[in-house]
């Protein structure tokens, strides 16, 4: 109130007109939502077009042929352009036209139209066939925020009767978001429940599919944001935020895949991970002391269960002080890590953002001297309790702080640590949950309160971690994993879904969350296998390992108060089945690595839900169990206890049951037996699936030959294999090999052609080729003009032979 009266008094001095009023506050209009009026003017500046209603301004930016950005400035003053999600707009030249007629202004690119209706400032988008894909239901609007300044900003679009919605990161609800109202505000959600919202990450990007056509909306606003997908009113879709700019990107499809690729064009992809990071990781809160870590590591080797990564949770530190080691539990970390490395294990350590207030602790002292910790609005330090006790928190939105933080990893890297796990970076604070709104942030020079920086805090922390490690590791690929994040976090880290629960419901949720993260830009993701809190029985753990073997990131983890949770902890038959699936994970590493390359280089997600394969079928909008791993292998996890069989939907085309090699026609559901040692896996006909020999860890042995599993098809199918050194950034200088296989069969012949691109030469010489599903018995195999002399035929009608890795063409004759 005071602020308002003062304002009015100022006006009295300046404005003659008010002098005769007894109560000048009567003249002030109450705060209400304001809507855009009518656009009376368009002005073009390069690829931006500005429209105004006389007071508010709207900017339409043509980013690419398929991407248009819309921004609103209530009184014509735009905020400075800056985004953590989109560091740079893609550089493409677009030819567009601006047209004006009686009804509208229309911006047309070779792919889409953006319409600005004169009558009411409604903004809509349509495709080349004038099919409207997205349209305002009310004009963009805002409400002044007297306490913090700025505005609450709102956008409301129409929602079609059969429109479906996907995306938004890791929401713990059905895959299709139709009918839901959800919030983005990074939250430490220990043991989150089904439908609990918000969770750890904020990804303000969704995909709509309506009439078989997909488009995406990326609402690049870091404030607390809300989405309603026909929940309040089935005819409306809305998104709004507590501050910042109403700024969104319309991303055209028509396929979901196009939308996701274009979202990656804006926000980036995950860099290639070190190959070992695709292996199995074992985690626990916590393995200590040192001897326990050694016992666990040896347990893997003794049980012949492959494992590449072992984690140290918070107890490795000295009083939870980041960048220190407990002298009691880990007296000689360098020796321990070296011994683990000699045994094939990479060590990953946890690092939290809270720095203990302690003048005898160098990290605190330095951060304090350099003024790197966050402060409240009145300049007090932001203090809160976390594991180390009373803590202060680096302002990771300050580039100087990020550089300092990155350099703090020099000792850990010197000690031999291969990866870093950033936890508690929502940021989480005991008791209060997170920072108060008034905490100030440098925000890369653009300034802001915690309202604006909260959702990017964790992302900037892991960015500092990743960039620091990359520098300290002299350009070897670092491995990082984070709990919190915002759009674009995939450029710096993998993620896990946080503190889940050892229940069948959470196995189901995890399956959905990973598919959702994957279509929301975060392909390198995994759940805590087995469930973080609570106790899984052997069956649940094994079913989770089976699903986890096909999660881009595979790690088992458990809370401190739970029983032993290693893949052999449940005895037989579980140990043997867990081993079988972890071995399968390792056999398929070259396939996963190739899918990763497709992600990194071309923006394909690694996990692809069924709807992404067949979006035109509305029934597929509600399928959430099965997905493909890359584009060739279809997985359907078993999600119920005691399940003897389950039905699996196969997209159209021909598929081979991975276990029986039976060929099945897709486009329908099939019933598959699911004894405990089987999870339904199908391979697309025509695929070439590369396979490594089972090893106890990646790089245990030199690869002597690569197995190519070829699946017959009577139509043409392409497959890819990516190979490189697996641990440096040489691929950025084109030191890699991208192989393409083309498989095509007829009733009496199968042809496989190979072509290659790139500068890398793998050390192995030959392929071990296995032919699956041939509809005939081969009488002759000719490779590059030479007849193959030795072919072994197996009882399951598969055939094997060896040939040079450089073959160009192999023909198999009936």
Per CB under 6 A, residues contacting ligand MIG are 285, 313-314, 350, 423-424, 483, 498-499, 557
Smallest separation (angstroms) from ligand MIG to the CB of 354:
11
Helices and strands counted in the chain (H then E): 13, 54
Please state the closest distance from residue 191 (CB atom) to ligand MIG, in A: 10
Nearer of residues 190 and 764 to ligand MIG, judged by Cβ: 190
Phi and psi at 670, nearest 5°, equal: -125, 155
Q: At what angle do helices 333-342 and 290-303 cross, to 10 degrees?
A: 0
Least distance between ligand MIG and beta carbon 791 (Å) = 51
CB 484 → ligand MIG: shortest distance, Å?
Answer: 10
Q: How near is the Cβ of 498 to ligand MIG at its closest, in Å?
A: 5
Residue 498 vs 510, nearer CB to ligand MIG: 498
β partners of residue 312: 349
Identify whether the C-beta of residue 70 lies closer than 8 Å to the C-beta of residue 250.
yes
**Least distance CB 483 / ligand MIG (angstroms):** 6
Instruction: Name which of 108 and 562 has its Cβ closer to ligand MIG.
Output: 562
Residue 365 CB partners (closer than 8 Å, separation 6+): 359
Q: Please state, in angstroms and rounded to a whole number, the distance separating the CA atoms of residues 722 and 701.
A: 19
Closest approach of ligand MIG to the CB of residue 735, in Å: 36
Catalytic choice (66, 220, 245, 423): 423
The nearest distance, CB 499 to ligand MIG, in angstroms, is 5
Which residue in 188, 242, 308, 499 is the catalytic one?
499
The C-alpha atoms of residue 422 and residue 98 are separated, in whole angstroms, by 47
State which residue, 533 or 754, has the beta carbon closest to ligand MIG.
533
Q: Which of 559-568's residues contact partners 24+ apart within 8 Å by CB, and which partners?
A: 559/285, 559/499, 559/532, 559/533, 560/285, 560/286, 562/502, 562/533, 562/534, 562/535, 563/535, 565/284, 565/530, 565/536, 565/541, 566/282, 566/296, 566/299, 566/300, 567/303, 567/305, 568/299, 568/303, 568/305
Tell me whether residue 39 or residue 531 sits nearer to ligand MIG (CB atom). 531
Quickly count: other Cβ atoms within 10 Å of residue 149's Cβ: 9
Catalytic residue check, 426? yes
| Residue number, 150 or 458, with CB nearest to ligand MIG | 458
Residue with Cβ nearer ligand MIG (465 or 615): 465
Distance separating alpha carbons of residues 681 and 514, to the nearest angstrom: 18
Q: How far apart are CA 512 and CA 323, in angstroms?
A: 35
Give whichever of 496 and 604 is closer to ligand MIG, judged by the CB atom.
496
Closest of 203, 780, 282, 253 to residue 545, by C-alpha: 282
172 vs 717, which CB is nearer to ligand MIG?
Answer: 172
Euclidean distance between CA atoms 438 and 33, whole angstroms: 24
Longest distance between any two alpha carbons in the chain, whole Å: 108
Q: Which two tokens stand for residue 594?
A: 């190739």
119 secondary structure, DSSP code: T
Is 411 tagged catalytic?
no
Tokens 């497959």 belong to residue: 719
CB of 440 to ligand MIG, least distance (A): 26
List, in order, residues 6 or more apart from 397 with CB less than 8 Å away.
441, 442, 443, 444, 448, 453, 456, 457, 460
Find the shortest distance in angstroms from Cβ 334 to ligand MIG: 23
Q: Are 654 and 713 in contact (CB under 8 A)?
A: yes
Q: Which of 165, 164, 156, 79 is nearest to 123 (CA)?
A: 156
Place of tokens 């000048």: 24
Spatial distance between the Cα atoms of 738 and 720, rounded to a whole number of angstroms: 7
- For 118, left (φ over 0), alpha (ψ -120 to 50), or beta? alpha
Nearer to ligand MIG, 349 or 382 (CB): 349
- Backbone φ and ψ of 429, nearest 5°: -135, 135
The strand order across the sheet containing 792-793 reads 688-691, 705-711, 766-772, 799-804, 792-793
Out of 59, 426, 566, 598, which one is annotated catalytic? 426
Phi, psi of 69 (to 5 degrees): -105, 140
What values do phi and psi take at 139, rounded to 5? -65, 155
> Which CB sits closer to ligand MIG, 454 or 557?
557
Q: How far is the CB of 190 from ligand MIG (least distance, A)?
A: 7
Check: CB of residue 680 under 8 Å from CB of residue 646.
Answer: yes
- Catalytic residue check, 66: no
Instruction: Name the residue whose CB lies closest to ligand MIG.
Output: 285
Tokens of 403: 């550089």
Report the catalytic residues.
423, 426, 499
């Amino acid at each position: 109130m005071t602020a308002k009266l003062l304002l009015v008094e100022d006006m009295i001095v300046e404005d003659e007109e008010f002098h005769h009023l007894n109560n000048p506050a009567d003249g002030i209009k109450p705060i209400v939502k304001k809507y855009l009026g009518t656009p009376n003017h368009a002005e073009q500046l390069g690829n931006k077009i500005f429209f105004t209603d006389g007071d508010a301004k709207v900017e339409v930016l043509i980013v690419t042929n398929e991407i248009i950005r819309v921004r609103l400035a209530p009184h014509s003053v735009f905020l400075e352009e800056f985004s953590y999600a989109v560091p740079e707009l893609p550089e493409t030249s677009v030819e567009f036209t601006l047209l004006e007629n009686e009804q509208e202004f229309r911006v047309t690119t070779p792919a889409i139209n953006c319409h600005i209706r004169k009558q009411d400032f409604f903004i809509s988008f349509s495709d080349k066939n004038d099919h409207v894909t997205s349209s305002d239901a009310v004009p963009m609007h805002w409400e002044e925020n007297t306490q913090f300044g700025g505005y609450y900003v709102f956008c409301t679009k129409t929602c079609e009767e059969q429109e479906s919605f996907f995306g938004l990161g890791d929401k713990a609800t059905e895959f299709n978001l139709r009918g839901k109202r959800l919030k983005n505000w990074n939250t430490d959600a220990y043991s989150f429940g089904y439908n609990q919202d918000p969770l750890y990450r904020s990804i303000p990007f969704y995909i709509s599919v309506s009439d078989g056509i997909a488009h995406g909306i990326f609402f690049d606003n870091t404030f607390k944001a809300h989405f309603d997908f026909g929940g309040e009113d089935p005819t409306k879709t809305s998104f709004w935020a507590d501050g910042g700019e109403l700024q969104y990107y319309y991303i055209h499809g028509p396929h979901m895949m196009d939308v996701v690729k274009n979202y990656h064009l804006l926000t980036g992809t995950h860099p290639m991970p070190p190959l070992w990071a695709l292996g199995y990781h074992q985690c626990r809160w916590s393995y200590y002391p040192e001897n326990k870590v050694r016992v666990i590591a040896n347990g893997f080797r003794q049980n012949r269960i492959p494992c590449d990564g072992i984690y140290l949770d918070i107890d490795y530190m000295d009083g939870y002080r980041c960048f220190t080691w407990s002298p009691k539990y880990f007296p000689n970390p360098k020796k321990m890590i070296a011994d683990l490395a000699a045994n094939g294990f990479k060590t990953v350590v946890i690092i939290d953002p809270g720095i203990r207030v302690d003048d005898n602790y160098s990290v605190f002292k330095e951060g304090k001297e350099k003024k790197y910790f966050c402060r409240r609005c009145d300049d007090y330090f932001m203090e809160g309790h976390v594991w180390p006790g009373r803590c202060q928190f680096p302002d990771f939105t300050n580039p100087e702080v990020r550089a300092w933080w990155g350099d703090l990893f020099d000792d850990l890297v010197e000690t031999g640590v291969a990866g870093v796990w950033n936890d508690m970076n929502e940021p989480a604070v005991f008791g209060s949950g997170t920072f108060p709104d008034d905490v100030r942030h440098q925000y890369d020079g653009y300034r802001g309160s915690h309202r604006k920086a909260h959702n990017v805090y964790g992302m900037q922390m892991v960015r500092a971690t990743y960039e620091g490690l990359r520098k300290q590791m002299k350009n070897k690929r670092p491995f990082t994993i984070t709990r919190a994040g915002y759009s674009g976090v995939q450029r710096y880290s993998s993620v896990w879904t946080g503190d889940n629960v050892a229940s069948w419901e959470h196995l189901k949720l995890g399956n959905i969350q990973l598919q959702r993260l994957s279509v929301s830009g975060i392909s390198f993701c995994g759940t805590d296998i087995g469930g973080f809190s609570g106790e899984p029985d052997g069956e649940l753990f094994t079913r989770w390992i089976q699903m986890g073997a096909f999660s881009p990131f595979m790690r088992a983890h458990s809370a401190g108060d739970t029983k032993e949770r290693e893949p052999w902890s449940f005895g037989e038959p579980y140990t043997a089945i867990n081993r079988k699936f972890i071995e399968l994970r390792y056999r398929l590493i070259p396939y996963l690595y190739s899918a990763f390359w497709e992600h990194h280089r071309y923006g394909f997600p690694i996990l692809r839900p069924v709807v992404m394969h067949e979006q035109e079928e509305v029934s597929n909008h509600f399928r959430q169990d099965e997905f493909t791993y890359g584009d060739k292998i279809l997985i359907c996890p078993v999600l119920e206890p005691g399940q003897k069989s389950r039905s699996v939907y196969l997209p159209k085309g021909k598929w081979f049951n991975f276990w029986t090699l039976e060929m099945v026609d897709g486009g329908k559901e099939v019933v598959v037996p699911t004894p405990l040692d089987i999870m339904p896996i199908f391979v697309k006909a025509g695929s070439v699936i590369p396979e490594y020999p089972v090893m106890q860890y990646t790089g245990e042995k030199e690869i002597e030959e690569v197995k190519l599993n070829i699946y017959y098809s009577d139509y043409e199918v392409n497959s890819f294999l990516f190979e490189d050194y697996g641990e440096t950034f040489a691929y950025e200088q084109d030191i890699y090999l991208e192989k393409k296989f083309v498989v095509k069969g007829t009733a009496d012949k199968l042809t496989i052609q190979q072509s290659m691109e790139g500068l890398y030469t793998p050390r192995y010489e030959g392929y071990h080729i296995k032919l699956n599903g041939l509809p005939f018995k081969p009488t002759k195999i000719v490779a590059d003009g030479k007849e193959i002399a030795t072919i072994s035929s197996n009882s399951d009608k598969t055939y094997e032979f060896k040939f040079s890795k450089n073959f160009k063409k192999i023909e198999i004759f009936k």
